[in-house]
Amino acid sequence: MNVILHRRYRFSASHRLHQPGWSAAENRRVYGKCANEHGHGHNYVLEVAVTGPVDPSTGMITNLADLDAFIERHVLVEFDHVYLNEQVPAFRSLVPTAENICRVVYDRLRAYPHARLASVGLEETGANSFEYAGEFREKP
């Protein structure tokens, strides 16, 4: 029996949506107020979904303390209360949109050893949320 566990975490960060090779007008056209040269911030809600068989001896997919520690170490320590564009190396060359944040977080968490990562969700605002479950591949 496989079950999916969803666990939520919170972090606050600021960012600027901006393509360095574009003009200020083009950045404003594409990213709107999110292209503000001084950046802006969000209180993000990160939802991590892991899946696997239920261990008959514990009755769990994974120990929550293990999952929490892994996510703290691989994501929250580096993402919480920072300016993503400059303080998270991945975003020095990648626009820190919520979509890209999901992908970067997913790649960091794939190595979790106690269950399989199913997806990463990110709520940026009450109106915007995103989910990434790895690269889509059509069945042969």
Residues classed as catalytic: 34, 81, 124
Helix (H), strand (E), coil (C) string for 78-134: HHCCEEHHHHCHHHHCCCCCHHHHHHHHHHHHCCCCCCEEEEEEEECCCCCEEEECC
Residue 54 burial (C-beta neighbours within 10 Å; 0-12, 13-18, 19+) = middle
How far, in Å, are 41, 54, 59, 74, 75 from residue 24 at the CA level?
20, 52, 55, 34, 31
